[in-house]
Chain A
């Protein structure tokens, strides 16, 4: 029977891909995959034909009889036919290194994984050993994709150099930022790439045990990754002799419990150890004293998933992409009120304007774009006047923002930036771990002050108060939650001051 690929990515499920798979099952062999990340076209199905795969989308279960009658199984013409998926402009413009297999392969088939270039990186890592791996990763220029952009090679070297009876690799799959879903997509669509990356990391630093800390809001990713772990163990990719080598490595998945702060690495470690997720003061660095007081590498999922391609294709090939000190590719996640929202992996350097207007096609609502929040709830709101900002760690910092985990959330002209500023404070109040006063008390005060500003009470005085409060939080907070929450608040105030005017003046502005 003809093979048809139907995504099982949670976002595709949310749009009815299970129902599509059920409707197609009597007529074809169904292979469930991850998503290619073209979410406005989901559920997007792909039919295997002698001429290659042909995509159709967005497909609903009710479309199936018509599609079959039109010759779906031969890849025939139909209004929903999209042609070869690689030629869809949104995909054709990307550089898919980390996401090369996502949406293409059966996520639980190691054969598929190998056939599409997987495992080569791990084989080479075993060949060159720890020193060779550390050299390759350092030369690739890879920096942490979790937000802080710390050079991965240096982090690994620190842990490799720390002497200890045990060391750990911890994958941060807490992905709490609104507007981000790259970790989730990979866990559901290409979980072996994470397993491979972590095994390479383990060999590099001398760790034999890895933990993946996944947020509980991702039940499908949790299930998919556990299934992949079982396959990897059975095949000897994990275990006492990784791929038959002298290296031991195994991975266990742990599930968070709805606390945003547990994405912060020391809070995550506390949570893994079974406590409240309260931030630890640094030093000691996790690289020296991390999980259970042992040297620990904590890396974001995308950082780890970038390792296999660096090892298989070489540091230089990876380094050749990007700009300045931001090397390689970044899986950018286009989200919110956008016509073509989806995963866009590209070398660093693409501008915000290209992403929003050109690639993203403007708003889904059809109204003008007014603001874009980049980098999650701690990231700044950008007005279209700053759309020339390039995707690069330094460029975003220079504009008073942060790139974070690469989430881009688009708002149309109906957005009220004073409300968004209030939400930032409310979010900080809900999610503060409570360890330090500026954040714990400041966020609650910030919410109250924003309420007064929105109600038009002593607006000028309250704006002064808000700025003071942001200063205190920025400089007095122990971690980046309290330290960066001023970014969305102050950027809203700076770029959209009209939204903070008393209601009577607002109409005139």
Chain B
């Protein structure tokens, strides 16, 4: 799991400034904010607007247009489960029902213990090895309920593995 920083205006301003001097800077800035803080904080919107000479409404409109940008901090782990056709053909729908029940949440929700955020995604390009998902950025294939549960249980350990190999 990527370790996110808590939102601060100082860091936010710094990140915005670092990406603002390029053509079409909005998406690169929003991506950088989300990478750092895990989401695009509402407090960031007026800062981005001011830096790029846009209205707040415009920036808000951009943030909400793109499904990728979160407006709330995610859980410790983010599971992006594919719901598109190729994964449907090998059982993605049942898998979605299973994981919602197991986590006690609906799509876009975060489990009560703050552990997992579940996000729908429409194709990861892993359509020959579905059902597919990205768990904290790690691709998973040929998932069934057992494999997915096991991956979620391993998720906190994966992090130490990743950090060790870094």
Mask of A346-380 contacts with B, CB within 8 angstroms, 1/0: 00000000000000000011000000010001000
Contacts of B65 in A (CB 8 A): 259, 276-277
Report yes or no: A336 in contact with B66, Cβ–Cβ below 8 A.
no
Contacts of A342 in B (CB 8 A): 128
Give Cα A40–Cα B90 distance, bound, in whole angstroms. Answer: 14
**B5, CB-defined interface residue at 8 Å:** no
Kindly state whether residue B149 has any CB partner on chain A within 8 Å. Answer: no
Count residues of A near B (Cβ-Cβ below 8 Å). Answer: 62
| B14 → chain A closest CB, angstroms | 20
A128 at the interface (CB under 8 A from B): no
Judge whether A36 is part of the interface by a CB distance below 8 angstroms: no
> Does A73 count as interface, using CB distance less than 8 angstroms?
no
The complex places the Cα of A374 from the Cα of B45 at a distance, in Å, of 41
Report the minimum CB–CB distance from A331 to chain B (whole Å). Answer: 13
Whether the Cβ atoms of A179 and B85 lie closer than 8 Å is yes
- On whether the beta carbons of B31 and A255 are closer than 8 Å, the reply is yes
The answer to whether B122 touches A275 (Cβ under 8 A) is: no
> Is residue A260 contacting chain B, with contact meaning CB distance below 8 A?
yes
Q: In the assembled complex, which residues on chain A have CB atoms less than 8 Å from the CB atom of B23?
A: 273-274, 292
Interface residues of A in 9-40 (CB under 8 A from B): 10-11, 13-15, 39-40
Contact of B127 among A180, A256, A272, A292 (CB under 8 A): A180
Q: Are A15 and B142 closer than 8 Å at their CB atoms?
A: yes
Main secondary structure of the interface of A (DSSP, over half): mixed
Q: Which residue of A lies closest to B54 (CB)?
A: A274
State whether A216 touches B85 (Cβ < 8 A): no
Q: Are B129 and A409 neighbours in the complex by a CB distance under 8 Å?
A: no
Given A254-B28, A275-B26, A335–B128 Cβ distance below 8 Å? yes
A398 to B50, CA, bound (A): 52
When A258-B68, A336-B85 are in contact, do A178 and B127 touch as well, CB less than 8 Å? Answer: yes
Q: CA–CA, A185 to B122, complex, Å?
A: 18
Q: Are B66 and A415 in contact (CB under 8 A)?
A: no
CA distance A176 to B85 in the complex (A): 12
Shortest A131–chain B CB gap in Å is 30
The stretch among A133-141, A144-152, A192-200, A217-225 that forms the contact with chain B is: A217-225
Q: Does B15 contact A (CB under 8 A)?
A: no
Name 19 extra pairs, CB < 8 A, besides A178-B123, A184-B125: A11-B139, A13-B138, A14-B140, A176-B123, A178-B127, A219-B134, A219-B137, A255-B27, A255-B31, A257-B30, A273-B23, A274-B23, A336-B130, A337-B90, A365-B90, A407-B86, A411-B89, A420-B85, A423-B88
Q: Which residues of B contact A (CB under 8 A)?
A: 23-28, 30-31, 52, 58, 61-62, 65-69, 80, 84-90, 121-130, 132, 134, 137-142
Chain A residues within 8 Å of B, Cβ to Cβ: 10-11, 13-15, 39-40, 42, 175-181, 183-185, 216-221, 254-260, 271-277, 292, 333-338, 341-342, 364-365, 373, 377, 407, 409-412, 415, 420, 423, 427, 430-431
